Amino acid sequence: MSDQQEFPENPDDITETDAEHIEHHVPGKGLALPGQNLPDKVYIIPIHNRPFFPAQVLPVIVNEEPWAETLELVSKSEHHSLALFFMDTPQEDPRHFDTKALPQYGTLVKVHHASRENGKLQFVAQGLSRVRIKTWLKHHRPPYLVEVEYPHQPTEPTDEVKAYGMALINAIKELLPLNPLYSEELKNYLNRFSPNDPSPLTDFAAALTSATGNELQEVLDCVPMLKRMEKVLPMLRKEVEVARLQKEISAEVNRKIGEHQREFFLKEQLKVIQQELGLTKDDRSADLEQFEQRLEGKVLPTQVQKRLEEEMNKLSILETGSPEYAVTRNYLDWATSVPWGVYGEDKLDLKHARKVLDKHHAGLDDIKDRILEFLAVGAYKGEISGSIVLLVGPPGVGKTSVGKSIAESLGRPFYRFSLGGMRDEAEIKGHRRTYIGAQPGKLVQALKDVEVMNPVIMLDEIDKMGQSYQGDPASALLETLDPEQNVEFLDHYLDLRMDLSKVLFVCTANTLDSIPGPLLDRMEVIRLSGYITEEKVAIAKRHLWPKLLEKAGVSKGSLSISDPALKALIDGYAREAGVRQLEKQMGKLVRKAVMKLIDDPKAAIKIGPKDLEASLGHPVFRNEQVLSGTGVITGLAWTSMGGATLPIEATRIHTLNRGFKLTGQLGDVMKESAEIAYSYVSSHLKQFGGDAKFFDEAFVHLHVPEGATPKDGPSAGVTMASALLSLARNQPPKKGVAMTGELTLTGHVLPIGGVREKVIAARRQKIFELILPEPNRGNFEELPDYLKEGITVHFAKKFSDVAKVLF
């Protein structure tokens, strides 16, 4: 086995005499000419890394076993030479040599300074000439002896060969500055060659490349000068390109690293200089100073003061890189951000409050009065203590904007967050500090944002909270929304008592059904019912239309809508209790108008009632036919979307047997109401002027139309009883009357809820005569005058009062 190791051309242990001797034996130079003193018989040694070229002088290392004997014989010979042949794959056992594995050409080298160390033999080999084996004289085991011959080369180079020689020298000169491995000695070595002696130059150029052993062997095998140069020049150019690319990549990497290092050093120097001059402090001191500055001007409770001092002392001794430092710093960041003892001043000016409410809301007079009463108490007392108001009403009636208006009229900051779908109680009360990514609850975050302890905080959609394995946020709100308990509200993250009693909480909900009883008990309920047409027209003119024009960038002169068109729009397309659908439909009108304005920018478009159908399609709502006739009564119902009229029909199917059938997707309460009405009318039929035997023989069917809509609620008993009585008397009831009320088995009329919504629903259907339960008289009288105007109401204590009005 052998390894060839490349070292600088002139190893330190070569003496001047030796160097001179080597110099004189370079082929074509000095005294030794090709063919002179070149032996006919030489020993050979195979090498494995890459071929050895005649132009090279390099150390060679081979294994002592089995090449020691070969080198001894070489040292005893006159010429001190041997032949080196390249073998791509080392032989498993050099003693059994495959002569066919050797290539055609090897290199005759002169051996200098052979030495032995650690089982290896090292010598300096000076390349003399290409050599080819003629005959094997000894090939059974080392040392291997062969008879050789030397290729003949023309002495005078042609012009083409000279040109190639110049190209090779230029390429080598390009390569040297690109690759620092080729040192000054190589440049000197290169100076010894000339284009007039191209063979060693070409071999030397090939030896410089990083080509594979087989590619280099092809060069060694190629004796004709021009062919060899044609092979070597592309190899050398490729080497130059690779070296150039490598240098560019290294330069770019070094530049980037250099920039980062320079920045880093400059920053570190700047830090040290600033610290020396007392201009800045280290991270820990800067953090502590920042936290102390935040607490200036705040009034901290004793417990809080004590706790924060402990945490700051802890921070001052922790290492800035430790995880505990980050946790403590984060904690102090939150704790010092809370506006301890900082209260904003309330504007307790009722005239200003009335102005703000009127500016933002048309209608809702009862709500405005309720809010002003609440503010008046605060003005009288000199401060508004925390209160919890719950605004309940259908979607789109302005619950959220009422909350904003309260904040504006008081001059308090406003913070809103939605509870819709919230499942994790930690959102309210915070996580424990021990968890990764722990944070305080939304209330602490709200106080940090508003920077006072008495903001208006709106808890939107309180009826849509969820529950999960992570906890029950509705129960977590019990402490927050209890004026008795929230004086010492405890957030799990801060673990410090804080006073929320000065916060004004405004909650909103669509219905009360899904709010837990204990939570509802802590809040003051204010109901916002739907708007009547007149109110919607005012809202559309004063708020929605100007807002939509501004959003679309249209001037008032370019686009207008008439009052009759607004009324038609509300009646035909947007009858819901709120105004959200109305805003969407008006938005559609504006967009259609903008399409026309793009074609004709100077046009002035006016929208009248006739233009609605072209832009919005057929009206969604038709004027409902108020059903009338024997056995048909108009009832009034409350839904979460507002009030509605509810016709109820009764008819006799046959007289074969007694029976009672109910349809119309009714809930349990409605079914019970129907059973009670049937029993009551059956037992008191004679008293109301009907045939006492009517129900004994009749199979009666009672139906509530719009079968797909679920209906439930205790307010239809009176209506159902009236329908059955009309059927039994075979007499149609008085026209244009609507009613609501619950009935008992003894005929008493019980009170119901949602009077305002039901009155609005009746007005919408142009029904102006109502029957309401006597206990609801107060509710009706509280209604604003514009709702009561033109309406005749009969208050019924017993069912007999209802029958008198109808028949």
Catalytic residues: 715, 758
Provide φ and ψ at 426, rounded to 5°. Answer: -65, -20
Overall residue count recorded for the chain in this entry: 807
Rounded Cα distance between 381 and 541, Å, is 38
Tokens of 628: 């009338």
Structure tokens at 287: 């953090």
**One-letter amino acid of 104:** Q
Q: How many CA atoms lie within 13 A of 171 on its CB side?
A: 26
Separation CA 469–CA 578 (nearest Å): 36
What tokens appear for 550 in the block?
Answer: 């501004």
HSE-CB at 406 with a 13 A cutoff on CA atoms is: 35
SS3 571: helix
For 564-602, b/e burial (b = at least 16 CB within 10 A) is ebbbbbbbbbbbbbbbbbbbebbeebbeebeeebeeeee
Pick the closest to residue 205 from 219, 224, 188 (CA basis).
Answer: 219
Binding residues: 393-400
Closest Cα partner for 608 from 551, 569, 553? 569
CB < 8 Å & 24+ apart, contacts of 587-592: 587/548, 588/615, 588/616, 589/561, 589/615, 589/616, 590/548, 590/549, 590/552, 590/554, 590/559, 591/552
From 80, 86, 81, select the one nearest 109 (Cα to Cα): 81
Q: How many CA atoms lie within 13 A of 255 on its CB side?
A: 6
Annotated binding-site ranges for ATP: 393-400
Tokens of 777: 């008289």
Question: CA separation (Å) from 189 to 169, 204, 211, 236, 784?
Answer: 12, 10, 21, 17, 113
Q: Is the Cβ–Cβ distance between 554 and 515 less than 8 Å?
A: no
The amino acid present at 519, given as its one-letter code, is L
Nearest to 631 by CA among 696, 715, 744, 721: 721
